[in-house]
Structure 1
């Protein structure tokens, strides 16, 4: 069962604070955003309200909302990236309990932790549009000690579901990859998970001399290389989550 997030994202909280500071109602803000869109595209008050409340964690009009509120996309993207970098909340106890004689008793389970999972979901009544949700209750468990042996901090681990056949045969559709959020600086030829216009993607990345990036698939016959300039990275809301260190491939 998928947990539906209901807490507003940090960006949504920022938008609300700026909106209130500008004395704009949700309806007025949605109307101003819609004025800058190409018909029939529009932002309804109901859609914006759902985003501001946290019922929806993303909005395809985030860049236009930021513009109306006088915010730069660089500022918004930094907040989005910082949110991804937040470690999971600590467990309710430290893993040590007292036995019947009052002596501390360690548990083997404390060597393992359950990883969070990012999933992509289609938006109802909006073909081709998606949003990304986080599922905290999963069956994906990692050994903390083994992660440290390969230089990965448990606090920086998040898992991502692979969609499509672009990374076949190594990473088929539906498999899950483990991502180290601390390693988001591109090293040529490594596999990374990223967010691209509210879509989850897993690709080989390469740096370009212009400061942009090249995305490469294993299945290059169907998915040729893609190159993005720094400006396109900002406009298309490309955020590198981190480097892939583990995968669970299955058919």
Structure 2
């Protein structure tokens, strides 16, 4: 498929971002390699944003804004306006046709509760939880929590190559993955992907660390694995050799294919 050309507005946004980046990179000690590492992206992806080959979106604009310590409006008033509208929207009262940009089509909102039966295109996905093996022993295992379930559309699981029986949900605890994943965020995990050899550098994985449930970015190293948090100021990288992985009973629960959370 031929790559879409950027609009004049999108190209102007990339050019404005590049000017700000060039003006501040020395002051902030930045390079494209360091930006790529902070974003968990490839250096090529960062270059494509700065050189107008990929259009900026809300997530990338917010990341550049945070790193460069400049408001999104300084390089993209368009995206800044989108972020402002998203921050103010109230689904019950504001999601009306007059507030929606032309060309955007929304499906009807369906009201349901816990008693609403599953449709033919839905499945229940159980949560995983830490369970103490012996009272007061401090040893835990990770088990299904069938009393806590989340609905997923079968088509969404199929589109992400997740077998229904391999789908699980995990609740993120703490602020190590902030700002991408807040405390209390829910992630969907494909438990069919548990091989260390299949780890994709920079992707998110749910991990069983001696009975503790963790969600981290993973990177393969010649000697083992690197765990990375988004909040690297408070949580530095953790490197584990293959011997550490065995001794500390570290194993992959699965690959994170989805996440969601409330803004608060």
Q: TM-score, normalised by structure 1?
A: 0.53
Q: Aligned pairs, how many?
A: 143
What is aligned with 1:223? 235
Higher mean C-alpha deviation, range 216-225 or range 178-187: 178-187
Of residues 246, 252, 255, the one that matches 1:234 is 246
Contact 2:175 2:183 in 1 (8 A): yes
What is aligned with 2:218? 205
CA separation of 1:173 and 1:120: change in aligned 2, threshold 3 A:
farther
What is aligned with 2:182? 172
Unmatched tracts of structure 1, length 5 or more = 1-106
Q: Equivalents in 2 of 1:124, 1:172: separation in Å? A: 30
What is aligned with 1:116? 126
* 2:200 equivalent to 1:187: yes
Q: Equivalents in 2 of 1:150, 1:133: separation in Å? A: 23
Q: Equivalents in 2 of 1:240, 1:149: separation in Å? A: 22
CA separation of 1:132 and 1:181: change in aligned 2, threshold 3 A:
closer
Q: Deviations over 1:213-240 (max 9, x none)?
A: 0000000011000000001000000010
- The aligned runs of 1:125-136 (5 Å cut-off) are 125=136, 130-136=140-146
Contact 1:204 1:217 in 2 (8 A): yes
Bigger relative contact order, structure 1 or 2, given CA contacts below 8 A and separation 6+?
Answer: 1
What is aligned with 2:150? 140
Contact 1:166 1:220 in 2 (8 A): yes
Q: CA deviation at 1:138?
A: 2.5
- SS, match of residue 158 in structure 2: helix
Q: TM-score, normalised by structure 2?
A: 0.50
Q: Deviations over 1:86-119 (max 9, x none)?
A: xxxxxxxxxxxxxxxxxxxxx9712111101112
Contact 1:193 1:240 in 2 (8 A): yes
Unmatched tracts of structure 2, length 5 or more = 1-116
Q: Deviations over 1:113-156 (max 9, x none)?
A: 11011123567545x65443421133411011221122222121
Contact 2:126 2:149 in 1 (8 A): no
Q: Equivalents in 2 of 1:120, 1:174: separation in Å? A: 15
CA RMSD of aligned residues (A): 2.0
- SS, match of residue 120 in structure 2: helix
CA separation of 1:119 and 1:146: change in aligned 2, threshold 3 A:
same
- SS, match of residue 138 in structure 1: strand
Q: Equivalents in 2 of 1:167, 1:141: separation in Å? A: 24
